[in-house]
Amino acid sequence: MAQNPIIPPSPDGDEYAKAHEANAAEIFTREDPFALFGEWLDAAKAKEPNDPNAMALATADRDGLPDVRMVLLKDFDPTGFVFYTNTQSAKGQQLDDNAKAALCFHWKSLRRQVRIRGLVSRVSDEEADAYFHSRHRDSRIGAWASKQSRPLESRFALEKQVAKYAAKFGLGAVPRPEHWTGYRITPIHLEFWRDRPFRLHDRMVFDRKSTDLPWTVTRLYP
Ligand SMILES: Cc1cc2nc3c(=O)[nH]c(=O)nc-3n(C[C@H](O)[C@H](O)[C@H](O)COP(=O)(O)O)c2cc1C
């Protein structure tokens, strides 16, 4: 039979068995989703070829039309999951209209997924400043130069903007632009998914109606 171009050949048996072995340890006794997330992120850092902190961020515009794009997780703790961006970008405007979002991590090398839904707030100026100043100087200048998600006439026009701000700041400090900050997603729902043999996957959900309530933990059919 001809090979289907969409479906790859079955994974190498050894690699598959190893992932399944790692995915067999008990997780359904856990009470703290943040600790479990931390363990999975650490495992991803050890195995993923790049960007283990990459996550899909889903937002909806004021008409309810969903949008999704990748961003990088820069911090997390029990108050939520933080990423940084331009507040005037499409996602920034969508979050102004509807301060709710969903995140999805997929670590292929681990055969694991984490889904998060929650309420969004901006981080404090102090927190955004601290992260902004930890970035490479060229990235800080880039934050000034990029009118993220708006039309750009040419690559040269972007390079001109970069040169303009590099000259403006010279050798001095590059302050954080007002239009650049972090957003924190405080979860009310998290789901941990692990690949298990024959598509009989594990799914574990942490749910709470509001952020001040304790979690209920539920196992779901795959
Ligand atoms: C792996 C990866 C990580 C990314 N991380 C970020 C990020 O942390 N912040 C950001 O603004 N854009 C990031 N981007 C670019 C976004 O996916 C997107 O193109 C940009 O933010 C504009 O999105 P918007 O028009 O929906 O606002 C990343 C893209 C990829 C592929």
- 165 within domain boundaries: no
Residue 42 lies in a domain: yes
Q: Mean pLDDT of all residues in the chain?
A: 93
Range with the poorest average pLDDT among 9-18, 64-73, 202-211: 9-18
Ligand 1 centroid, distance to 71 Cα (angstroms)? 5
What's the domain range around 191? 13-125+178-219
Let me know: does 193 contact 115? Beta carbons within 8 Å.
yes
42-59: average pLDDT: 98
Nearest atom in ligand 1 to the alpha carbon of residue 59 is: 26
For residue 1, pLDDT beyond 60: no
CA distance 117 to 119: 7
- Residue 124 in this model has a pLDDT that exceeds 60: yes
- What pLDDT score was predicted for residue 189? 98
Q: Tell me, what's the pLDDT at 45?
A: 98
Answer whether 209's CB lies under 8 Å from 149's CB: no
Catalytic residue (one of 111, 155, 196, 199): 199
**Low-confidence winner among 9-13, 56-60, 147-151 (lowest mean pLDDT):** 9-13
Q: Is residue 1 part of a domain?
A: no
Structural domain contains residue 91: yes
Dump pLDDT digits (tens) for 155-206: 999 999 999 999 999 999 999 999 999 999 999 999 999 998 888 899 999 9
* More confident call, 200 vs 61: 61
Give tens-digit pLDDT for 128-160: 999 999 999 999 999 999 999 999 999 999 999
**Ligand 1 pocket residue status of 54, Cβ below 6 Å:** yes
pLDDT at 40: 97
Residue 144 resides in a domain: no
d(CA 100, CA 116) in angstroms, rounded, equals 11
pLDDT band at 3 (very low <50, low <70, confident <90, very high): low
DSSP codes, 102-118: EEEEEETTTTEEEEEEE
Shortest-distance atom of ligand 1 to CA 85: 11
The secondary element (H helix, E strand) that includes residue 41 is: helix 33-47
Q: Residue 222 pLDDT more than 80?
A: yes
Tell me, yes or no, whether 135 lies in a domain.
no
Q: With a 6 A CB cut-off, is 69 part of the ligand 1 pocket?
A: yes
Q: How confident is the model at residue 10 (pLDDT cuts 50, 70, 90)?
A: low
Query: Which residue is it, tokens 């997603």?
Result: 185
Which atom belonging to ligand 1 lies closest to the Cα atom of 89? 27
31-54: average pLDDT:
96
70 CB under 6 A from ligand 1?
A: yes
Cα–Cα dist 206/57, whole Å? 19
- Structural domain contains residue 64: yes
CATH number at residue 188: 2.30.110.10
Residue 138 lies in a domain: no
199 is catalytic: yes
Number of domains in the chain: 1
